[in-house]
Structure 1
Amino acid sequence: MRVTRCTLMSRAQTPLRLANAACHSTSGALLQVLANGASLEDIVPTTEVILATRALVQNGFSDDEVMSGYRVGTAYWCEIWASAVDEYCPDPQLSVRVASYGTSLALGWLEKVIGQVVADYRDEAARMSREGSVARAAYVRMVLAETDGDLDTATVSKDLRYDLTGRHVAFVLNRHADSRDDTPLDPIALSLAIGTTASAPLIVRVDLDTTLCWVPTDEIRALRVPNAPVLIGRGRPARGLDGFRRSYREASEAVRVARLAGRAAATVTRFDDVEIVALCSNDAAFCEAFVRDKLGLFAEDTDEAHGLRATLGNYFASNCNFRATAVRLGVHHNTVRYRLERIGPLLGRSPEQNRLHLELALHLADGLGLFADAGIAADSHS
């Protein structure tokens, strides 16, 4: 598929041209009011004034700059009016009245319409932000989906204003299921990124409940996780455009596992810690059935079953050494022997038989939070 460059913003007009357009529209509106003898109560911004304001917004002028421009322009218009009165109205008494009338009208016009101009400015800015966010998200989705090599890394980097040639770490932020807050997740992503590296991140809002974030870094410092109603999945550092995609896929899988496991809000789940769980849990029901089948009678939510699972997991982690297992658990090694003797009959075989399946079942039970004692602590993922 041939990919054409996505233009995120139209080419900017020159500031002088925009300023001239705004001045002409404002002067025309004031002259029309003067010619028609309209009262201040009847004054509204003309279509030309509104379009001029929108053009300023679309080309990056701030609201302070736009409002300052209107104020300076109105003051200058008053000076021109006073000069014209001096030139064409020789009667002193009449000239004072005419000058006062024109100045009062201009200042009244400014006071009357500036509120509406501000409102229109903000409406236009909000519209552009929404459309820009949608276009940016669509472009990023295209970049993530395109895998046939047609994309030019330099072009994509320029379009996104983010260097894709280095190494990145992706984060996927997903609003927690228990949250009743619909605040955008972008500020949370920015806070997370700032705590990670000094480099500028790429933040993309996919929808109200999902935001993506890429941080250009080769090494993640200790994360400062915002206290917010959000689950965060973290991919591994990877280089270039392929790494951009791969780290995102890993972060997506990590946050999917976090949702399946019912993890608490403000939890960061690293793909490194849940890779096997992610690979095995695309069919969550089948995965749980595997766990319960392999664990047999000690796949129960009781204190005894919890102790047996903890003992067996640490026994495998200690390379099936009784004393090393006892040290890890903080118990006597005979206690370990007793518990393992209890496990054999419950399994119907020695724990060492089919060790791979049994160890995998324990890992999946923990990663998916299938039992009350399961689940990986949030601080182990940061």
Structure 2
Amino acid sequence: MSAHVDGVVRDAAKSIQADLENLTARMTSMFVDVIPEFRHDDAVRRLMVASTSSNLTAIVDMLALNISLDDITVPPAAAEYARRFAQHDLSLEALLRAYRLGEHMFVQWAMTALRSLDLPTDEALTATSRIALLTNSYIDQVIEGVIDIYENERRRWDARSDATRAAQVRAVLDTEGLDLASAEKMLSTSLRGWHLAAIIWTGPGPAGHASAHLRAGAAMLAAATGKAPLTISADEQTCWAWISSTGRPDLDVHRLGNELRAHPELRIALGDPSPGLDGFRQTFRDAQRARNVAATGADPDRALVLHSQVALAGLLVDHLPDVRAWAGRVLGDLMRDDEATVRLRETLQVFLDARGSFTDAAARMHVHKNTVHYRVRKAEEILGHPLTENRLDIEVALLACAQLGIWYAEGGA
């Protein structure tokens, strides 16, 4: 019985093979009609036809010649089409859908061919089941290979595209005397409006995970501004992004901060919005300084760092030894990192920001006014003089301690 069924399957395959050119055209037309991603230009369409034809030929040969599934591989034309699909940033889901639709259409053709053989019902059903099983097994095996080909090409193409874009962006950032028109041509985007730069980074981890985290960070930035960013991969754990708009970019800081809390592995540093080509560069330098402040580790739990909040510290961060020595001269033992001294520094910062108002400072800190008064007097004792002396130096030194973490280790100086 098995040999007889194999013979029926071969006859059906030969019937399909005789009209394969016409059937290939019908299948490719179906793909174009049903799947939007298959509406290619002429060059890619020819490759799509070749891919479809090669798969159909392979299935027919498998059925007609009883070729083992162990010998089935992705046909070269189908492999190249999968690579081209990835290069054009078309979805893998669309490609896999075509394989399943094509499988269904092929089985329908086989059933039509079997009907023309005028077989007994049992034989026709058995042969149909056999063809459907073999065709499904072929599609499953080829799809596994197609997925690998697509994903490998997507990674390779993304890396190449990112490398090219990164080189162009770096040139715009670093080339002196570059005019606006040339910069816009290099980036294929207008630089005449406003720009907001962000540096997005994540901690060490598997490359695939880091890439997914960085994409999530870029998506959060887009949601918080309502604009799609220009992004490039600076390295495996870092992404640079620019939000551009005709007017000053509108950033929902609260939303961005809230969304970041759900992604503890992510950090984002933001520059100040700035216009034009110079602004494109300046906001990025701002973001770099904000990231440098974050890198000191003074506030390791801070996921979102705005340059506007750390601008002064950003100017000081490249001179930490000198800043530490100077702040030590200004603050003396107020530079220690024990809990009581940290509390005194925090109180002084709030008190000075409140323009010397004990009442206002107490309200901000949610403590009694006498508590603020006591801490201020204690700090003045450690300083050896009133806060009114060298007030600006004291404020800057306190800010450096808070934002750059340049206090003295407990028990040392």
Alpha-carbon distance in structure 2 between the residues aligned to 1:245 and 1:302: 41
Task: Specify which of 246, 249, 270 is matched with residue 218 of structure 1.
Answer: 249
Alpha-carbon distance in structure 1 between the residues aligned to 2:136 and 2:340: 82
The answer to whether 1:49 aligns with 2:78 is: yes
The answer to whether 1:152 aligns with 2:176 is: no
Which residue in 1 is equivalent to 2:88?
Answer: 59
Q: Which amino acid aligns with 2:251?
A: I
Q: Is the 8 A contact 2:196 2:272 kept in 1?
A: yes
The answer to whether 1:189 aligns with 2:217 is: yes
Alpha-carbon distance in structure 2 between the residues aligned to 1:119 and 1:32: 24
Q: Is the 8 A contact 2:243 2:249 kept in 1?
A: no
The answer to whether 1:203 aligns with 2:242 is: no
The answer to whether 1:166 aligns with 2:205 is: no
Q: Is the 8 A contact 2:172 2:178 kept in 1?
A: no
Alpha-carbon distance in structure 1 between the residues aligned to 2:92 and 2:344: 65
- How far the C-alpha of 1:249 sits from its partner, in A, is 1.1
Q: Is the 8 A contact 2:361 2:372 kept in 1?
A: no
Q: Is the 8 A contact 1:231 1:265 kept in 2?
A: no
Which residue in 2 is equivalent to 1:331?
Answer: 370
Segments of structure 1 that go 5 or more residues without pairing to the other structure are: 1-10, 374-382
Name the Cα RMSD after superposition.
Answer: 4.2
Alpha-carbon distance in structure 1 between the residues aligned to 2:338 and 2:61: 84
Q: 1:312 to 1:178 in 2, by over 3 A?
A: farther
CA deviations on 1:338-362 (whole Å, 9 max, x unpaired) are 5476256x3xx66555444343222
Which residue in 2 is equivalent to 1:270?
Answer: 306
- How far the C-alpha of 1:122 sits from its partner, in A, is 3.0
Percentage identity across aligned positions? 23
Q: 1:35 to 1:364 in 2, by over 3 A?
A: same
Q: 1:42 to 1:293 in 2, by over 3 A?
A: same
Alpha-carbon distance in structure 2 between the residues aligned to 1:174 and 1:279: 21
Q: 1:46 to 1:266 in 2, by over 3 A?
A: same
Alpha-carbon distance in structure 2 between the residues aligned to 1:335 and 1:106: 84
Alpha-carbon distance in structure 2 between the residues aligned to 1:103 and 1:202: 48
Which residue in 1 is equivalent to 2:37?
Answer: none
The count of aligned residue pairs is: 350
Q: Which amino acid aligns with 1:44?
A: T
- How far the C-alpha of 1:168 sits from its partner, in A, is 2.3
Q: 1:325 to 1:19 in 2, by over 3 A?
A: same
Alpha-carbon distance in structure 1 between the residues aligned to 2:339 and 2:135: 81
CA deviations on 1:61-114 (whole Å, 9 max, x unpaired) are 422322333344455556667788899x8x979x979x8687775555334423
Q: 1:143 to 1:61 in 2, by over 3 A?
A: same
Q: 1:365 to 1:51 in 2, by over 3 A?
A: same
Q: Which amino acid aligns with 1:145?
A: D
Q: 1:48 to 1:293 in 2, by over 3 A?
A: same
TM-score, length-scaled by structure 2: 0.68
The answer to whether 1:291 aligns with 2:324 is: no
Q: Which amino acid aligns with 1:342?
A: E
- How far the C-alpha of 1:256 sits from its partner, in A, is 1.0
The answer to whether 1:131 aligns with 2:170 is: no
Alpha-carbon distance in structure 2 between the residues aligned to 1:293 and 1:248: 33
Alpha-carbon distance in structure 2 between the residues aligned to 1:183 and 1:60: 20
Deviates more, 1:77-86 or 1:124-133: 77-86
Q: Which amino acid aligns with 2:46?
A: R
Segments of structure 2 that go 5 or more residues without pairing to the other structure are: 1-39, 363-368
Q: 1:183 to 1:342 in 2, by over 3 A?
A: same
CA deviations on 1:128-169 (whole Å, 9 max, x unpaired) are 3343334333333333223421463442453xxx65332222
Deviates more, 1:253-262 or 1:32-41: 32-41
- How far the C-alpha of 1:127 sits from its partner, in A, is 3.1
Alpha-carbon distance in structure 1 between the residues aligned to 2:56 and 2:110: 11
Alpha-carbon distance in structure 2 between the residues aligned to 1:340 and 1:64: 65
